[in-house]
Amino acid sequence: MKLVITMSRRFGTGASVIAKELSERLDIPVYDKAYIEQQIDDHMYDSEAEAIRELAGNPCIILGRCASDILKDKLNVLNIFVCADKEDRIQRIMGLESLSYEEAKEKVEHTDKERAAYYYEHTGKTWGDVNDYHMILDTSELGVENCADILMQYFEKLEYI
């Protein structure tokens, strides 16, 4: 099966680490905002959506960009949402970006607000609604380091890989 994984995430959850680990294990690329924007001439949502549909013609992992909604009718797509407790996310960003508590808190809140607004603007849906995803991973409970293992076991059990 040509598995395509979409991964939406709250800021600071470690989702990019999970995506990188899965990418290495499954030998498939990860595409994020920067990559997708490089593929298009303008920054219009319709252009991004078309680029995402083209990328999903082959196995890959797509981070954000409303990919879960853009690809919602595809049978080979697994939509994942990665969340974590706010305090854990703040601490993670403090460590990764050498920010103070207040700076990291502001960055977490601002980025989450931007992502929610972007998702709503382009889909009319609430970002993070459990009904839009096949799986929710809470890295506060599961640990960032365990999520790729959990997903690999799931893929093997369902014979996706």
Q: pLDDT by residue (tens digit) across 11-29?
A: 999 999 999 999 999 999 9
- Residue 18 included in any domain: yes
- Residue 74 included in any domain: yes
Question: Which stretch of DSSP H or E encloses residue 80?
Answer: strand 77-83
* Predicted TM-score of the model (pTM): 0.94
Q: Provide the residue range defining the domain that includes 40.
A: 4-85+130-158
- Residue 96 included in any domain: no
Question: Does the pLDDT at position 95 exceed 70?
Answer: yes
| CA–CA gap between residue 140 and residue 50 (Å, rounded) | 34
- Residue 92 included in any domain: no
- DSSP class of 124: S
Q: How many domains does the chain have?
A: 1
- Residue 98 included in any domain: no
Q: Is the separation of the CB atoms in 36 and 51 below 8 Å? A: yes
- Residue 95 included in any domain: no
| Number of neighbours of residue 102 by Cβ within 10 angstroms | 10
- Residue 90 included in any domain: no
- Residue 116 included in any domain: no
The pLDDT tens digits of the residues spanning 116-146 come to 999 999 999 999 999 999 999 999 999 999 9
The pLDDT tens digits of the residues spanning 31-88 come to 999 999 998 988 899 999 999 999 999 999 999 999 999 999 999 999 999 999 999 9
How much is the pLDDT for 12? 97
How much is the pLDDT for 1? 63
Long-range contacts of 142-146 (CB under 8 A, 24+ apart): 144/13, 144/14, 144/17, 144/18
Name residue, tokens 């609604």. Answer: 129
How much is the pLDDT for 21? 96
